[in-house]
Amino acid sequence: MREEHGNVAPVMIAKGEDPGDVRTDVPYQLMTILSNLYPWMSDGKKIAVLTRRCDEKALAEIFKRGYFDRARIVQIGLACSKEQIAACRCSDPVPSTVDIGEPHAGVGSDALSEKLMNMSSEERLRFWIYQFRKCNKCFACTANCPVCFCDECVLEERTFVPERGVPPGMSFHLIRAYHLADKCIECGECERSCPAGIPLLTFRKLVAKDFRDMYKFSPGDDKNVSPLLTTLEGEALEGDECNEC
């Protein structure tokens, strides 16, 4: 990112070009921006990209699916500021190699998540219905998501999201939550870019926790295959024997 027109802009600069007034304090989702560009960058040249810890994980999910050629990507590790870590309620903020910035420890928990899980389910539902009613179907959450890979999103179709116009209703958010269950790397971009101020990162964190507890799996490691894509391999399951034969 660099300073331009009194704003901070994402930039891609060629080798030797003057980077200008570089800024690293504005959390642009560079992996998403790069994903849009990548198909057009057929020249095979290497691409260096500023990489926070969450971006590292996003890259892992991208590599896993073969969207980027691993060999072309050079990661410049960026340690997030205390403020940013707090804003993301991030527990895992330090990239594998820190090239820029001071590494800071992560924060343990997301206050809202805890508050929600201590509510009765009625209260919790009331909370989310209010939040989702504000949804204006801008698709910022999918458009800016580094691990949303479809050009044509099913949430744009009428098949599973029956509500006309806005707000799109509950299924929109439930289905998206499911789609992200095994790949969300908790970068928080959905929440940052949501005009309605829906605490989407909290929603992601709630599901991520359940997913970890169930399958001991956290997205962002390109060696691990999502449990949703594997067989049981003898994992014990309730009622997995026919009780009568």
Q: Does 21 bind other proteins (CB under 8 A)?
A: no
- In whole angstroms, the minimum distance from the beta carbon of 105 to other proteins comes to 25
CA-wise closest residue to 10 among 63, 62, 67, 49: 49
* CB-nearer residue toward other proteins: 33 or 107: 33
Q: State how far Cα 180 lies from the chain centre.
A: 8
* Chain residues 185-244 in contact with other proteins, contact rule CB under 8 A: 192-197, 203, 206-207, 210-211, 214-215, 225-232, 237, 239-244
* CB-nearer residue toward other proteins: 51 or 131: 131
How many angstroms separate the CA atoms of 6 and 10, rounded? 13
# residues contacting other proteins (CB under 8 A): 99
Q: How many other CB atoms are found less than 10 A from the CB of residue 116?
A: 18
- In whole angstroms, the minimum distance from the beta carbon of 97 to other proteins comes to 25
In sequence order, the 6+-apart residues with CB closer than 8 A to the CB of 65 are: 149
DSSP H/E element including 73: strand 73-77
* Chain residues 36-55 in contact with other proteins, contact rule CB under 8 A: 36-37, 40-41, 43
In sequence order, the 6+-apart residues with CB closer than 8 A to the CB of 41 are: 47
* CB-nearer residue toward other proteins: 96 or 245: 245
Query: Which of 81, 106, 107, 139 touches other proteins by CB under 8 A?
Result: 139
Q: Does 170 bind other proteins (CB under 8 A)?
A: yes
* Dihedral Cα 142, 145, 150, 155, nearest 10 deg: -20
How many angstroms separate the CA atoms of 18 and 44, rounded? 22
Question: What is the residue whose two structure tokens read 């959450």?
Answer: 141
* Chain residues 61-100 in contact with other proteins, contact rule CB under 8 A: 65-66
Q: Does 102 bind other proteins (CB under 8 A)?
A: no
- In whole angstroms, the minimum distance from the beta carbon of 21 to other proteins comes to 13
Q: Does 15 bind other proteins (CB under 8 A)?
A: no
Q: Sort residue 33 into left (φ over 0), alpha (ψ -120 to 50) or beta.
A: alpha
* CB-nearer residue toward other proteins: 100 or 153: 153
- In whole angstroms, the minimum distance from the beta carbon of 50 to other proteins comes to 14
Q: Does 134 bind other proteins (CB under 8 A)?
A: yes
